[in-house]
Amino acid sequence: MKIGDWILLIQTIVLGFTAYFAWMIGEKQVEINKQIQKMEDSAELFGYVVKGNNETWFLRLTNVGKVQLYLIGYSINGVSKKVDFALIPSGQQQNAWYDIKLPPTEISVELHIFADLEDHLSRHWRSEIELIFKGGGWEAVTHKMKINNIEP
């Protein structure tokens, strides 16, 4: 074998390794992009209580996720109410909330609220929120949202 043949062989081997490593890097980049897309395509709802005028209390549903959500209904202690696709914009926008009027109370009480939502891809979400009224104020606990667990 001549020196030129050896150089050609070494170049071919180096080119093969380069192509393999470029393919490996590309595969890893695709995996990273899928993870980023999954993080950015998430729905997350946060509920807290605000006091309005005339001693009226509201549960404020705030969209802190990355996708637009539409409230399609909610239930308070099993009493359901349909909503005509009320937009709750993603958290980066002003007024990214929806207020639900709470029943008046002066005694210690617990409310279990389920908020049913739909996103721009017609995926259905449900968020469970527990409210406890004690000491003259409300305490809210938001549970993790679940996808596709309600009837469309």
Closest alpha carbon to 64 in 89, 33, 99: 89
Sequence-distant (≥ 6) Cβ neighbours of residue 98 within 8 angstroms: 60, 61, 71, 86, 88
**CATH number assigned to the domain with residue range 42-147, chosen from the 4 options 3.40.50, 1.10.760, 2.60.40, 1.10.490:** 2.60.40
Q: What percent of the chain has pLDDT over 70?
A: 86
pLDDT of 151 above 50: no
Write down the pLDDT at residue 141.
74
What are the pLDDT digits (tens) for 70-110?
999 999 988 899 988 888 888 666 777 889 988 877 666 88
Would you list the domain boundaries of the chain? 1-40, 42-147
**Mean pLDDT, residues 54-65 taken together:** 84
Three-state secondary structure call for residue 4: helix
Q: What global pTM score does this model have?
A: 0.67
Write down the pLDDT at residue 145.
64
Write down the pLDDT at residue 90.
81
Q: How far apart are CA 54 and CA 52, in angstroms?
A: 7
Write down the pLDDT at residue 11.
93
pLDDT of 111 above 60: yes
